[in-house]
Structure 1
Amino acid sequence: MQVTTKAIVLSAIKYGDTSLIVKAFTASDGIKSYLLKGVLASKKGKLKPALFQPLTQLELVAYHKNKGTLERIKEAKVVHPYKTIHSNIIKNSIVLFLSEMLSNSIQEEQKEQALYNYLEYSLIWLDENHANPNYHILFLVNLTKFLGFYPDESQTDGNYFDLLEGNFRTTPNLNPLLENEANTLLKRFLGINFDAIMQIKTTKQHRLELLNKWILYYELHLQGFRKPKSLAVLNAVFQ
């Protein structure tokens, strides 16, 4: 079946000498993987490898068989040309990290329009604003709303956040916990939008502690989730 859909590129992996396998989150059908035969060798073809950089926003004309196999792209064009994301080293590092997180987190082959809208808005915000070391943390905190394990905000007085249960506690238990400054910092990220991250003042140490524990939070709640390899690169640019 031929479909026309918006899509956000999550990864592009070389296949053989001349082809790519592209994984994308589509507005029409959720996660899809495409085989682009000969795209690395053809200079005259409509599909250019540069179109498939991480988190590029595209409009695709594609053929979806919906049988769990690799699909095919007929046409692709950029729908939101980024002005800064791929040229700014900090933003590019954020994008590489988030593309890996998304690739490991989103697993459904079904339409999820609210999630697509969130990703679209978040990436445009990043492109149009100054790089901020709090951006990717808020991105990942808010992403859990769509993945089904956003923190329970009914009781936020506790000094501990239970990473297994997803709620705040007044006393510790044997589960992995956020505590002290990292717990306080998490509360500041709850319920805010990206414009508010400029007001969050913290240290690199506390931000890194929260990020590492938040990645563990994903590991505990998503089957098969793998810790992103690009995390070390991201940490290096925020020295």
Structure 2
Amino acid sequence: MLVKTRGIVLNFIKYRETSIITRIYTEELGLQTYIVNSIRQKSNTTRIALFQPFTLLDMVVYTSAKGGITRISEYKCNYPFSSIPYDIRKSSMLLFLSEMLSFTVKEEEENRDLFNFLHNAIIAFDQQEQHFENFHLIFLLQLSSYLGFGPTSGADVTSQIAFSGSQNLINGRPAVIHFQMYEDLFDNLINDPTATLITNGKVRREMLQIIIWYYQLHMDSLGEIRSLKVLSEVLAE
């Protein structure tokens, strides 16, 4: 059976000599895995670019009642990026966020609210010319609501981490006192994200680590985020 759907590429891995296996979050079918043959040939360099993280696609795909890996019948770019591929800060953020999504989004079923959030956030990010340094923080806080554990206040985030037992002392102080330093900033990111001012990269990196710990409290499947180190280096200030 063929289904027409939009999709958001999360990642791909090489398969055999010229093929790839790609994971795509689709509008109609949720998370799906597809094999794409003969795409890593020298003559197909433009096609492989369509499977970079967060590329937005229009697709016609095969479905199977048994699930598992299927194939894509047709695909084309839904929205050509104007800035993301040319800005290492933006591309590093999306590489990191695609890895986070790979760990956290698992459902092989339709979820239009989540799909629309992802689709619209990516386009808005591509169109944002400046002051996008907090995008990954805002994105993860908003995503957590679609995953069922979104915080309603900064205290929700900091108190859960402080009392989780995973962090007792930080820089010689009780963890609860350390995390309270970020409570107001998290409040602002949740309630008025575009107006939030974070003074420097060090604070931003610490807040990102807190969000990752917050995710780990709620999702057992969250493993090592390999792209985090790259992101931290690119956004260092």
Pairwise TM-score range, normalised by the shorter structure: 0.7 to 0.9
Partner of 1:186: 186
Residues 74, 160 of structure 1: alpha-carbon distance in 2 compared, 3 angstrom cutoff: closer
Aligned to 1:161, which of 159, 164, 185?
A: 159
Question: Any residues of structure 2 matched to 1:151-230 within 5 Å, and which?
Answer: 151-153=151-153, 160-163=158-161, 173=163, 175-176=165-166, 179-193=179-193, 196-197=194-195, 199-230=196-227
Distance (Å, rounded) in 2 between the aligned partners of 1:207 and 1:222 = 22
Partner of 1:98: 97
Distance (Å, rounded) in 2 between the aligned partners of 1:220 and 1:117 = 26
**Count of residue pairs the alignment pairs up:** 225
- 1:61–1:73 Cα contact (<8 Å) kept: yes
Residues 235, 122 of structure 1: alpha-carbon distance in 2 compared, 3 angstrom cutoff: same
Distance (Å, rounded) in 2 between the aligned partners of 1:101 and 1:146 = 14
Residues 213, 43 of structure 1: alpha-carbon distance in 2 compared, 3 angstrom cutoff: same
Residues 22, 174 of structure 1: alpha-carbon distance in 2 compared, 3 angstrom cutoff: closer
- 1:182–1:209 Cα contact (<8 Å) kept: no
SS of match in other structure, 2:182: helix
Partner of 1:150: 150
Deviation track 1:175-224 (CA, whole Å, cap 9, x = no partner) reads 4567232222211111335xx15x42322222111101111111221122
Structure with the largest fraction of helix? 2
Distance (Å, rounded) in 2 between the aligned partners of 1:100 and 1:21 = 16
Residues 151, 44 of structure 1: alpha-carbon distance in 2 compared, 3 angstrom cutoff: closer
Distance (Å, rounded) in 2 between the aligned partners of 1:78 and 1:233 = 27
Residues 185, 65 of structure 1: alpha-carbon distance in 2 compared, 3 angstrom cutoff: same
SS of match in other structure, 1:43: helix
Write the letter of the residue equivalent to 1:226.
Answer: G
Deviation track 1:29-81 (CA, whole Å, cap 9, x = no partner) reads 11000011222137379x92121111000011110114231010011001111
Write the letter of the residue equivalent to 1:234.
Answer: L
Structure 1: where are the runs of 5+ without partners?
164-171
Partner of 1:110: 109
